[in-house]
Amino acid sequence: MKDHKRMYGVYLRVGMFSSMVIFIMLFTFVPYEAPQPYELKRDIATIIDIIDTEIDIIDEPPPEERPRVAIEASKEVIDEAVVTIVETFFKEDPFKITPVGPEIEVVPYYRLEVKPKPIFTAKPVYPEICRQAGIEGATVVKMLIDIDGSVIDVIILKTSGNQLLDQSAIAAARKSTFTPAKQRDKLVRVWVARPVRFQLK
């Protein structure tokens, strides 16, 4: 009968050698499978605008000439120009409190049953300084659409690298309107992303 306590070292070395042989065979004969690219599980609404930089030049009327020498007005003209304003009793309340109602739920875009659709997409104005300097860029804004379809908040997701272009994209996003979003037949708020590209022709 073998003494297993004395054979402990032999068993350990044989076990380690066997494990190494098994791992080498696995790495040698098992085929390598390339990992699959990650797929986005939700949709993000995007609207791409290409800005037209053609600007219509409007001729301004020439400035009116002012008399170089001051002319004294007659007393009759001064008397006719005096108008008495009736005192009013209107008093504005500087501490006006806006009524607070129930908080409206903000639902993620991918969970909506009825997604918002653009009704009016405001066209951003290409800043004249950027146009003359040949500056281009792309800004991604994130708009919070209210239950009436108006945009109540705008934040920058990706900056164009130019503050004037970002401000123009935000101003245009605030003027845009959408159809209301619904979840379980209830009007809700939702964030929608919109890329705006500033490109010179």
| pLDDT classification of 151: cutoffs 50, 70, 90 | very high
Look at residue 63 and tell me if it is in a domain: no
Q: What residue numbers bound the domain in which 11 lies?
A: 1-31
Look at residue 89 and tell me if it is in a domain: no
Look at residue 147 and tell me if it is in a domain: yes
- Residue 193: CATH number of its domain: 3.30.2420.10
Residues 6 and 44 in one domain: no
Look at residue 130 and tell me if it is in a domain: yes
Look at residue 190 and tell me if it is in a domain: yes
pLDDT, tens only, 71-125: 565 555 445 445 455 555 555 555 445 445 467 888 888 888 889 999 998 889 9
Do 147 and 104 meet the contact criterion of CB atoms below 8 Å apart?
yes
Domain count, the chain: 2
Residues 44 and 135 in one domain: yes
The more confidently predicted of residues 75 and 154 is 154
User: Residue 173: its pLDDT value, please?
Assistant: 92
